[in-house]
Every structure is written in C-alpha cells, then in structure tokens.
Amino acid sequence: MRQLCKALGAVALAAVVGVAVPGSAQAATGDLKVGFTTYHNPHGCYESEIFPLIVGNQTDQVANVYDRPGCQGPVAGQVKRGESKTFEFGASVRIQ
C-alpha cells in the first residue's frame, strides 16, 4: 500500500510539473515591417537599415522599439497590432 501511494504521488507530481512548465516561444503571426524590409511571422530582434526607424506591425503581438542596436538599452516605444509608427531615435525592434 505504501509503495502504491508513492507511485501515485510521483505520477501526480509529474503531471503538475508538466502543466506548469511553459511551452516554447512561438513566432508572431503576420508581417512586421522594419524600415524597407518585411518579415513574415517574425520572432526576435530586427535592426533597421534606415533612420528614422519606421515600423509597421501587422502581427498579433506588440513590437518593442529600442534605442540601441541588438534590442539593447531603453525601450523607445511600442507599436501595437495594426499600427505604424516612426521613431527618430529607434535602432532595433523586438517582437515575440
């Protein structure tokens, strides 16, 4: 009886841990335009080839715009779903 309880406890713990661990990140669905380049189903950090930085977000996620390349430094602003914005000091965009 004691071993049965331990076995059931282990199974229950495994089930809880399996549900609690988040799944892997998925790309946004749609198109993200950074400068003159359009990314389909983007995920990660993108830098612009032009200044000021122009971002068009036609995805299902919010895009964060950073002051520095490589999505470093402070967030200069956000581009919500369906929006397009221009950033005088933006250098890179992250979408998840």
Taking Cα atoms as reference points, which of 65, 67, 62, 68 lies closest to residue 83? 62
Kindly list the distances between the CA atom of residue 24 and the CA atoms of 5, 18, 94, in Å, as whole numbers in the listed order: 33, 13, 17
Residue 2: per-residue pLDDT:
55
Q: In whole angstroms, what is the distance from residue 15 CA to residue 28 CA? A: 29
List pLDDT tens digits, range 12-60. 444 443 434 344 467 899 999 999 999 999 999 999 989 999 999 999 9
Residue 46: per-residue pLDDT:
98
Q: In whole angstroms, what is the distance from residue 71 CA to residue 49 CA? A: 14
Whether the predicted pLDDT of 88 surpasses 80: yes
User: What number does CATH give the domain 27-95?
Assistant: 2.60.20
Residue 26: per-residue pLDDT:
78
pTM equals 0.72
Taking Cα atoms as reference points, which of 60, 52, 58, 56 lies closest to residue 37? 56
Residue 15: per-residue pLDDT:
46
